[in-house]
């Protein structure tokens, strides 16, 4: 059995996933290495299971959003709260008991409940439409209770407040009886309801970590087998916890993902690297850095893409316009000269457009790059040269208000991988001038058969085969014309991308993993 222990934790309370209303949060790139690895195992029919350590009452919708709902899951908190074999229901606001004098004010974001002209409660909904939580307010307008709903249609826990500050949180069973209580203002001390003391070794725990550890250990005793393999996405919160509680003889794979494990943090991974049997990294430059930092353990490190390629060719050939996708990365300073080169190319080349795309960018970041683009246009490019040609049909004298011209560029801020796939559907060329090309963009580009222009060589893009490597952004126009003007070269890139797909399929992923495991141990898992 392969066990995945995901690193899905909150920012303020580590053992709790953040429950942020969708309309408050910026776009987030939720995808990580665990999602793809689970999909690979599932498609190959390999037995695997998720071990979820964090309190995540909306877990089902979260897994569904990422296409892994069918995965076998063991949730520590489901076990702690005795959530087993539940009848799933969809709650409506009218299913909740309200006083007869309550008034309901509906908005696109939430439902506010008023009583005697004052705010009495606020009902929040998840992105998928289910009731996610309900906040109750006292006569002074301060929050007094916070009911957190399970996505299966019942109350999961209740947080109590004093003067607007959280004091403790009760975790309920399916009958609404509290099983254990977390004292938030007392360092997270946990108190067990004596009625259910028989299900716990103690009635009091120093913090939630001790309680989770108890059930984690018990689960392993009941289910462990000699050839079990644990895949651990590295996270500072849980690395040592997991290594402390998984028997030393078990095979452990540490997985590094650049969006979670920055290269600056690699020096802090010494203990985790020592205790892991195998370390997977998602980028070639990360692999090289780790080998330099830990030369005596270099045999543990292997590069393995966190994404698999699947042929889903784009439809750029169905459009007259040639759309160029430009990858933004706000972790680096925006290259004004690179933007200038691309905009000049668009202005000089008919039937071309550019999409400036970013992942999980803030509104301020998007406004910054938009302002920079318009600054470049004002300084160096005539706006007229970037206008789209308008088709007025058979109208001889189009109305003046209908003659406003659209410009041949747009900005897209994407939430997840699916947004990128949609964005690339009609794209003819991908441009990524960042110090390290965005990994998922490269993989998605190969899957869609789209040639790519980069400054940095990777295993995914080869010069004049499925892309064009340039040494300076001033060479962009030459590289772009190579694929925009010549259908032959573009088709050759498409054919080569299909060959590349074969190198990075899920089966190749598993073949490599199997080989590395067998090099270290006699474990036969795949």
pLDDT digits (tens, 9 = 90+) for 482-506: 999 988 888 898 888 887 777 767 7
- Looking at residue 247, its pLDDT comes to 93
User: pLDDT of 210-219, one tens digit each?
Assistant: 999 999 999 9
- Work out the pLDDT band at 91, boundaries 50, 70, 90: confident
User: pLDDT of 175-190, one tens digit each?
Assistant: 999 999 999 999 999 9
Structure tokens of 23?
Answer: 């309309």
- Looking at residue 26, its pLDDT comes to 47
Domains 93-204 and 316-389+402-503 share a fold: no
User: pLDDT of 94-128, one tens digit each?
Assistant: 889 999 999 999 988 899 999 998 999 999 988 77
Structure tokens of 499?
Answer: 């060959």
> Distance (Å, rounded) from C-alpha 37 to C-alpha 32?
9
Over range 249-266, report the average pLDDT. Answer: 92
Structure tokens of 238?
Answer: 């849980």
- Looking at residue 313, its pLDDT comes to 62
> Distance (Å, rounded) from C-alpha 504 to C-alpha 350?
36
Q: 316-389+402-503: CATH homologous superfamily?
A: Glycogen Phosphorylase B; (3.40.50.2000)
User: pLDDT of 277-305, one tens digit each?
Assistant: 999 998 888 999 999 999 999 999 998 87
- Looking at residue 28, its pLDDT comes to 54
Residue keyed to tokens 């489901």: 78
> Distances from the Cα of 468 to the Cαs of 432, 445, 456, in angstroms?
11, 13, 10
SS (H, E, C) 139-158: CCCCEEEEEEEECCCEEEEE
- Looking at residue 339, its pLDDT comes to 97
Percent of the chain at pLDDT exceeding 90: 62
> Distance (Å, rounded) from C-alpha 188 to C-alpha 165?
14
Percent of the chain at pLDDT exceeding 70: 92
Highest mean pLDDT pick, 38-52, 92-106, 363-377, 413-427:
363-377
- Longest Cα–Cα distance of the chain, Å, equals 85
User: pLDDT of 149-160, one tens digit each?
Assistant: 999 999 999 999
> Distance (Å, rounded) from C-alpha 162 to C-alpha 379?
57
> Dihedrals φ, ψ of 168, to 5°?
-150, 165
- 93-204, what's its fold? Outer Surface Protein A; domain 3 (3.90.930)
Output the CA torsion sign for 6, 7, 11, 13.
positive
> Distances from the Cα of 189 to the Cαs of 160, 210, 211, 301, in angstroms?
15, 10, 10, 39
- 2-80+225-303, what's its fold? Rossmann fold (3.40.50)
- Work out the pLDDT band at 20, boundaries 50, 70, 90: confident
User: pLDDT of 301-354, one tens digit each?
Assistant: 998 877 666 656 666 665 778 999 999 999 889 999 999 999 999 999 999 999
- Work out the pLDDT band at 12, boundaries 50, 70, 90: confident
Q: Domain segments of the chain: what residues?
A: 2-80+225-303, 93-204, 316-389+402-503
Taking 50 as the threshold, does the pLDDT of residue 392 lie above it?
A: no
Over range 399-407, report the average pLDDT. Answer: 63
- Count Cβ atoms below 10 Å from residue 161 Cβ, excluding itself: 19
Q: Which of 291-295, 307-311, 362-366, 467-471 has the lowest mean pLDDT?
A: 307-311
Taking 80 as the threshold, does the pLDDT of residue 395 lie above it?
A: no
- Looking at residue 468, its pLDDT comes to 96
Burial of 152 (0-12, 13-18, 19+ CB in 10 A): buried
> Distances from the Cα of 393 to the Cαs of 7, 111, 388, 398, 416, in angstroms?
55, 46, 15, 9, 37
Whether 284 contacts 292, CB under 8 Å: no
Mean pLDDT over all residues of the chain? 89
Structure tokens of 253?
Answer: 């794979």
């Amino acid at each position: 059995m392969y066990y995945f222990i995901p690193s899905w934790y909150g920012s303020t309370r580590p053992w709790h996933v953040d429950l942020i209303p969708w309309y408050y949060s910026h776009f987030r790139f939720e995808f990580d290495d665990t999602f793809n690895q689970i999909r690979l195992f599932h498609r190959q029919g390999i037995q695997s299971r998720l071990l979820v350590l964090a309190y995540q009452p909306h877990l089902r919708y979260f897994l569904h959003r990422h296409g892994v709902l069918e995965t076998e899951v063991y949730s520590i908190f489901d076990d702690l709260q005795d959530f087993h074999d539940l009848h799933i229901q969809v709650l409506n606001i009218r299913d909740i008991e309200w006083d007869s004098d309550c008034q309901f004010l509906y908005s696109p974001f939430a439902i506010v409940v008023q009583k005697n002209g004052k705010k009495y409660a606020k009902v929040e909904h998840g992105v998928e439409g289910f009731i996610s939580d309900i906040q109750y307010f006292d006569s002074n307008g301060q929050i007094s209770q916070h009911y957190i709903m399970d996505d299966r249609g019942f109350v999961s826990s209740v947080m109590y407040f004093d003067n607007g500050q959280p004091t403790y949180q009760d975790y309920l069973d399916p009958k609404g009886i509290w099983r254990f209580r977390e004292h938030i203002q007392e360092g997270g001390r946990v108190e067990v309801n004596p009625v259910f003391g028989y299900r716990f070794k103690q009635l009091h725990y120093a913090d939630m970590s001790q309680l989770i550890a108890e059930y984690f250990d018990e689960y392993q005793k009941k289910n462990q087998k000699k050839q079990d393999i644990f895949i651990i996405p590295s996270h500072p919160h849980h690395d040592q916890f997991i290594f402390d509680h998984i028997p030393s003889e078990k095979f452990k794979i540490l997985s590094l993902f650049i969006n979670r494990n920055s290269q600056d943090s690699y020096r802090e991974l010494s203990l985790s690297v020592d205790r892991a049997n195998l370390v997977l990294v998602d980028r070639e430059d990360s692999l090289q850095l780790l080998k330099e930092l830990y030369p005596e353990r270099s045999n543990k490190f292997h590069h393995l893409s966190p994404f698999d390629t699947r042929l889903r060719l784009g439809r750029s050939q169905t459009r007259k316009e040639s759309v160029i996708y430009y990858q933004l990365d706000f972790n680096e300073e925006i290259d004004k000269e690179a933007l200038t080169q691309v905009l000049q190319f668009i202005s000089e080349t008919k039937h071309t457009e550019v999409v400036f795309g970013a992942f999980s960018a803030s509104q301020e970041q998007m406004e910054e790059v938009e302002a920079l683009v318009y600054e470049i246009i004002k300084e160096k490019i005539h706006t007229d040269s970037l206008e789209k040609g308008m088709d007025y049909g058979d109208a001889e004298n189009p109305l003046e208000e209908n003659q406003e011209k659209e410009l041949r560029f747009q900005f897209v801020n994407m939430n997840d991988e699916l947004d990128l796939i949609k964005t690339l559907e009609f794209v003819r060329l991908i441009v990524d001038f960042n110090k390290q090309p965005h990994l998922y963009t490269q993989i998605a580009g190969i899957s869609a058969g789209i040639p790519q222009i980069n400054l940095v060589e990777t295993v995914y893009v080869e010069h004049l085969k499925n892309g064009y490597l340039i040494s300076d952004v001033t060479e962009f126009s030459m590289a772009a014309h190579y694929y925009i003007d010549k259908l032959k070269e573009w088709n050759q890139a498409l054919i080569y991308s299909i060959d590349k797909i074969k190198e990075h399929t899920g089966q190749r992923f598993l073949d490599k993993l199997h080989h590395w495991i067998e090099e270290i141990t006699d474990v036969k898992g795949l």
